[in-house]
Amino acid sequence: MSKRGKDRTQVLQGTLDLIVLRALATMGPQHAYGIATRLRQVSEDLLDLNQGTLYPALVRLERQGWIKGTWRRTENNREAKYYAVTAAGQKALAQETVRWRRLAGIIEKLLWEDS
Amino acid sequence: MHHWRQFLAKVSTLFRRGRVEDEIARDVDSQLGLLEDDLQRRGVPADEARLSARRAYGGLEQAKELARDELTFVWLEQLLQDARHAFRGLSRSPAFAAVALLSLALGIGANTAIFTLVNGILLKKLPVPDPERIVQIQARLREFESSGFNYPAFRELRRQTGIFADVIGFWTRSAVAEADGDSYTVGFELVTGFFFSFFGARPALGRLIDEEDDRAEGAHPVCVLSYRIWQARFGAEPRILGRTIRVDGVPLQVAGLRPGLSLPEAGARLAAASRAIEEALPGERANAGTVYQVRDASKGFDSWRSHLQDPLLVLIGAVILVLLVACANLANILLARTSSRRLEFAIKLSLGISRWRLLRQPVRSGALEARYRGRAAQVEREVRQIVKSAAPAYQVSQATTMELLRDGLIAQDRLLMFLSGLFGVLGVALALAGIYGLISYSVAQRTREIGIRVSVGARQVDVLWLFLRESSMLTATGVLLGIPLALQLARFVRSMLFEVSTADPAAVSLTLALILLGSAIASVVPACRAARIDPVQALRYE
């Protein structure tokens, strides 16, 4: 993998964490499939986020202590892990949101200047 | 870095693979299930839904792999981070690293050494099949107990079939061996025929003494050499078999057995047979009223253990305390180091002192031992020559001076004394280094405060007292707690003291004085440093 490619994934990864955190913070405890469905709806199908992408992000967030998963039963009596944002996760979400807004602002500005 | 990760990942998966795999499988199964449910709700047939769910999931194996990486590296990354951090810190301050490592090395080393002894003598069982089936026979006559039996008694014990699988006897002594016109003292054991097969021993060369040698008394005058003697005295000569060695052999007595019954059962039946055994003995050998008993011998003989048990327990107690002090000390130094860089210099000093003491003592005792041995050999040679010319009919089995005899008798107690002394010194040295570290830490923390005190008129001597007071309070608290505790613990070593009380006033006050003096010295250095602090700089500190 080229260096550029690697950098891009990293940025995407950071964004993915932010998206998941945000979704969970608004929706309350939710399982992986629920999050995927919700994100597709919100992005009006533009964000192609299948569970294969989502799952590693959930594992990562959980081990960072930003979300916490507990096993429960769904209404169809199937067992599923429901993730909820922790206190540390709330704090991280606030910080990451600020950081993202700043970054997006800079990029926006740069794009305007260049054109 | 990359290789390290790979290596550690492999190690970690050894421990975590099962758990991680289970976790991932459960997660993915449930996610696929939810997807499948949703597909079925939208009208996809059940058998197709499973497959479609896997397809819709998107990169199932890749997702698993990524999750696996995340989970496996959790503690690994933390570990690497800690290790890197620690290594950087240590290489920045080699003096601190040396003290820390030395404390731990001494604490752990002493513990390992003493535990090896404890394990070998007190805990480990004999290297024979079914060691728990071996017992030691003992005779009891009123208040007297003995594990030594005469040969007729051994024969009678052996005749008591149904109690023991077999009975073996052995007797250890020293004797004069003569071969190739050379004579010397050897340790040797008289054993009964079953002895070697009982312990499952096999010959390195030729055969061992066996049942056949027991058939008729005196019919098979054979001996088995130890491997060591064979090499030392016979140059590992392969044609040693059939050679004659003269050993001054005299009596034979008993012990060491193997029961087919439980210990109490065997004991009861042997006790019941006591009268029959005594009655069968020739008149001059019999002691009417003797009761025969059995004792557990799976860890070897009782006498070995009872002899060494107390000293070993004392030693293991001492080394555990030393290890605890080393740990507490390390914690102290770590604490002190975070705020004081000047500590390095001082730690070197305290290290210098303790290293000195540690090195000096063993060297001195080693030299003494060599001198004793030389003298012993000299004395023995001279005595032999005198006896040979004056009374050629006599043989000298061992010649020694009273002094050497005494030294031999108390060698074990001396070693114990030396070791406990060493551990004591070690503990005190570590504790003093700890006090030093703590006061240094306190000085560094309160630099600003000292600056303020000096600028409003405190004299150097006031600052000095401030810290000396603090350290004396600490030491006094330690002494007040420690002395009653020490007196309580000392009761356990009472049996090892001779003409010294466990609360010997001289010993207690000397120890006390040394500790107080030591802690005063340990705290004077940082206190002086505090007194010399320049108030202007101190106020700028932080």
Segments of B223-286 assigned E as strands: 246-247, 257-259
Considering the domain architecture, whether residues B423 and B466 belong to the same structural domain is answered as yes
Contact (Cβ atoms closer than 8 angstroms) between residue B535 and residue B459: no
Q: Domain spans of chain A?
A: 3-114
Least confident of B36-40, B295-299, B534-538: B295-299
Q: What is the reported pLDDT for A91? A: 93
Q: Is A79 helix (H, G, I), strand (E, B) or coil?
A: strand
Both structure tokens of A6: 């690697």
Distance CA(A108)–CA(B61), nearest Å, equals 37
User: Which residues in chain B are closer than 8 Å to A76, comparing Cβ atoms?
Assistant: 37
Range B5-33 average pLDDT = 72
Residues 6+ apart with CB under 8 A from A114: none
pLDDT at B252 (0 to 100): 31
Domains of chain B: total: 3
Confidence band, pLDDT 50/70/90 cuts, at residue B77: low
Is the per-residue pLDDT at A11 higher than 50? no
Asked if A59 lies within 8 A of B60 by C-beta distance, the reply is: no
Chain A residues in contact with B62 by the CB 8 A cut-off are: 52
Of A57 and B525, which is predicted with more confidence? A57
pLDDT of residue A25: 92
Query: In terms of residue numbers, what domain contains B315?
Result: 304-378+412-540
Gap between the Cα atoms of B307 and B298, Å rounded: 16
User: Residue A2 pLDDT more than 50?
Assistant: no
DSSP state of B128: S
Reported confidence tier of residue B371, pLDDT bands at 50, 70, 90: low
Share of chain B above pLDDT 70, in %: 69
pLDDT digits (tens, 9 = 90+) for B132-169: 777 888 888 877 877 788 888 888 888 887 788 888 88
- Give the span between the Cα atoms of B206 and B228, in whole angstroms: 16
Which positions 84-113 of A are in contact with B (Cβ < 8 Å)? none
Query: Which residue on chain A is closest to B35 by alpha carbon?
Result: A33
Which domain-ending residue is among B237, B269, B303? B303
Domain-located, residue B397 = no
Which contacts of B210-215 are long-range, i.e. CB under 8 A and separated by 24 or more positions?
none
pLDDT confidence of residue A3: 39
Residue B359 confidence (pLDDT): 36
B448 and B520 part of one domain: yes
Q: Read off the pLDDT of residues B388-414 as tens digits, 9 standing for 90 and up.
A: 787 777 766 666 777 777 776 677 677
pLDDT at residue B414 in the model: 75
Q: How buried is B379 (Cβ within 10 angstroms: 0-12 exposed, 13-18 middle, 19+ buried)?
A: middle
Q: Best of A39, A59, A76, A79 to disrupt the B interface by mutation (most B CBs within 10 Å)? A: A59
Q: Indicate whether B360 pLDDT > 60.
A: no
Q: According to the model, what pLDDT value does residue A88 have?
A: 92
* A31 vs B: CB within 8 A: yes
Q: Check whether residue B215 and residue B357 sit in a common domain.
A: no
**B376 interface with A at CB cutoff 8 Å:** no
For residue B300, what pLDDT band results from cuts at 50, 70 and 90?
A: low
Distance of alpha carbon B479 from the chain centroid: 29
Query: Which of the listed ranges A108-112, B94-98, B537-541 does the model predict with the highest average pLDDT?
Result: A108-112
- The SS3 of residue B224 is coil
Partners of residue B60 in chain A, C-beta under 8 Å: 52
User: Is the residue at B184 inside a domain?
Assistant: yes
> What is the DSSP track for B64-96?
HHHHHHHHHHHHHHHHHHHHHHHHHHHHH-HHH
Q: pLDDT value at position B348?
A: 41
The whole-number pLDDT of residue B205 equals 66
Residue B285 lies in a domain: yes
* B271 domain residue, yes or no: yes
Say which of B31, B58, B71 has its CB closest to residue A33: B31
Smallest CA–CA distance, residue B478 to chain A, in Å, is: 43
Percent of chain B's residues with pLDDT above 90: 0
| B34 vs A59, A60, A74: nearest CB | A74
Written as six digits, the tokens of A54 are: 């989502």
Mean pLDDT is lowest, of B46-60, B171-185, B241-255, B517-531, for: B241-255
If one compares A6 and B469, the residue with the highest pLDDT of the two is B469
**Mean pLDDT, residues B376-386:** 75
> Contact, B167 vs B135, CB < 8 A?
no
pLDDT at position B40 over 50 = yes
Residue B320 and residue B254 in one domain: no
Question: Which CATH number does A3-114 carry?
Answer: 1.10.10.10
Residue A94 — very low, low, confident or very high, per pLDDT cuts 50/70/90?
A: very high
Question: Higher model confidence: residue A63 or residue B357?
Answer: A63
Domain endpoint, select from B279, B303, B327: B303
B119 occurs within a structural domain: no
> In B145-158, which positions are buried (b, 16+ CB within 10 angstroms) versus exposed (e)?
eebebbbebbbbbb
Q: How far is B22 from chain A (nearest CA, A)?
A: 14
How is residue B521 written in tokens?
């010295």
Return d(Cα B428, Cα B435) in angstroms, integer: 10
Q: Are B99 and B39 in contact (CB under 8 A)?
A: no
Q: Residue for token digits 């000095």?
A: B464
Angle, nearest 10°, between helix axes B460-490 and B447-455?
Answer: 130
Q: Is the CB of residue A81 less than 8 Å from the CB of residue A55?
A: no
pLDDT computed for residue B220 by the predictor: 65
Q: What is the dihedral of CA B325, B326, B330, B336, to 10 degrees?
A: 50
Answer yes or no: is B384 within a domain: no
With 0-12 / 13-18 / 19 or more C-beta atoms within 10 angstroms meaning exposed / middle / buried, residue B402 is: exposed
Is the distance from CB of B249 to CB of B175 less than 8 angstroms? yes
Q: Where are the alpha helices (DSSP H) in B93-190?
A: 94-118, 151-159
Q: ipTM of the predicted structure?
A: 0.80
The answer to whether the pTM exceeds 0.80 is no
Across B52-61, B257-266, B300-309, least confident range: B257-266
Most confident of B82-86, B95-99, B447-451: B447-451
| β strands within B192-347, DSSP E | 246-247, 257-259, 291-296
Residues B527 and B471: beta-carbon distance below 8 Å:
yes
A78: contact with B, CB 8 A cutoff: yes
Domain end, chosen from B254, B286, B303, is at B303
Does residue A89 surpass a pLDDT of 90?
Answer: yes
Nearest to B296 by CA among B267, B271, B325: B267
* Same-domain check for residues B297 and B329: no
Note whether B354 and B290 are same-domain residues. no
Do residues B183 and B265 both lie within one domain? yes
pLDDT tens digits, B205-257: 676 777 777 777 766 677 777 777 777 777 777 777 777 777 775 433 333 23
Six token digits for residue A94:
């606030």
The pLDDT of residue A47 is above 80: no
